[in-house]
Amino acid sequence: MKQFEANFDGLVGPTHNYAGLSVGNVASLSNASASSSPKQAAKQGLRKMKALADLGMVQGVLAPQERPDVTSLRRLGFSGSDANVLASAAKQAPAIFQACCSASSMWTANAATVSPSADTEDGKVHFTPANLTNKYHRSLEPQVTGNILKATFNDSHYFSHHTHLPDNEHFGDEGAANHTRLCSEYGEAGVELFVYGRHAFDHSKPAPSKFPARQTLEASQAVARLHGLSDKNVVYIQQNPDVIDQGVFHNDVIAVGNQNVLFYHEQAFLDSASAMDEIKRKFGHNELHLLCVKTTEVSVEDAIKSYLFNTQIITLANGEMAIIAPTNCQENPRVHKYLSNIAAQHTPIKHVHYYDVKESMRNGGGPACLRLRVAMTAEEHQALNQHTLMNDAQFERLNTWVDNHYRDTLNVADLADPQLLIESRTALDELTQLLKLGSVYPFQQD
């Protein structure tokens, strides 16, 4: 294939924990403070990556953030040795401390927005890390995310990296979780869909009342400008405020697309009819499949519980598409019934593959949260850091690395253990050598 879509999954970090930090994310809140298994979580993620590589996909690995984030705790006035910083922060400001221990960087759908070279004015692949300003624990990520992306897509002839948008709620940007690209072929110009929750500068417009709208229209427009996208290839769609208030914190919890298929719930968007008309018009005369799931088939509640739309849709070597779903979809009778019949819907989707990613699901993210999609050409593929790609040898190396450095069980109280910080930094330092990333973490640069 001369062009294809690669998946870069976030590697679960050695301090994977459940802290219930994300208001608006029902799964995250319901599992707050439960014991976690960093080793099991990392291995589940690696198995999913290897399975997609075995299906013929180009599969990559993105390194996790360093947690606990001692640098941020020092910025907030905690001082002394690293052990003193951890102890004093955990005692004096436990909520802030837990935020600085967040495991959320594993969901790389929030890492950045990516526009492929076929869409951009300068013919390069563009990356803008998400600022994630709506949640403090995620707002700590963009700088290191940018470092990791630059070390992964490290040839400036092919890749263009932007600084994240201003750290302000008016430009709240949640990355690819609110961005979908439709196209006929990955290497051809497509239509980029930016889904936003509210207007930052016009409070007369509809907005949710219970849970926050994390993406603004103004942020989406800014990313499109940075990436050199043409208006004729961009559609801005407002997410339905009512479904945000039901717990649909990102668009990828209620809609997912791949090539010429958009799979979405009928309640996903504020004005679905006009949005679909604009998509059809800008997509042109090529075949387009708009697969709308009715509430009578699957309720919003069931979609959230099972993460039906937080699945991945991938294109196999034979041109057919497959849905990569969490086993939670199998366990929900209505969702499983729908997916069992999806091959009869007269779309390219012909297969459903189920994977166990329950450690991620319990923290509020399904298969689609775990990956950043990068459509690219064969030349761009060769130009990226080849050590970040998944294959049999890398799968074995990373599993061995997890076995050597990860704990089987982690409780919230363990996060203040200075030995855990030492273990984590040792692991991450070795990981950057395995993936040939250089010094991407603050502790490596100090």
Class of residue 425 by CB neighbours under 10 A (exposed 0-12, middle 13-18, buried 19+): middle
Rounded-to-integer distance, Cα 174 and Cα 256, Å: 15
220-243 burial string, b = 16+ CB within 10 Å, else e?
bbbbbebbebeeebbbbbbbbbeb
Whether residue 85 contacts residue 71, with contact meaning beta carbons closer than 8 Å, is answered with no
Element (H, E) at 91: helix 82-92
Query: Pairing relation of β-strands 261-265 and 255-258?
Result: antiparallel
Q: What is the DSSP letter of 424?
A: H
Catalytic residues: 174, 250, 369
Sign, CA torsion 427/429/430/433: positive
Residue located via tokens 């979609």: 303
What one-character-per-residue DSSP string does 267-330 give?
TSBTTHHHHHHHHHHHHTTS--EEEEEPTTTS-HHHHHHHTTTSSEEEE-TTS-EEEEEEHHHH
Structure tokens at 165: 């948008």
296-324 burial string, b = 16+ CB within 10 Å, else e?
eebbbebbbbbbbbbbbbbbeeeeebbbb
Half-sphere exposure of 164 (CA within 13 A, CB side): 28
- What are residue 375's DSSP bridge partners? 5
Rounded-to-integer distance, Cα 42 and Cα 16, Å: 9
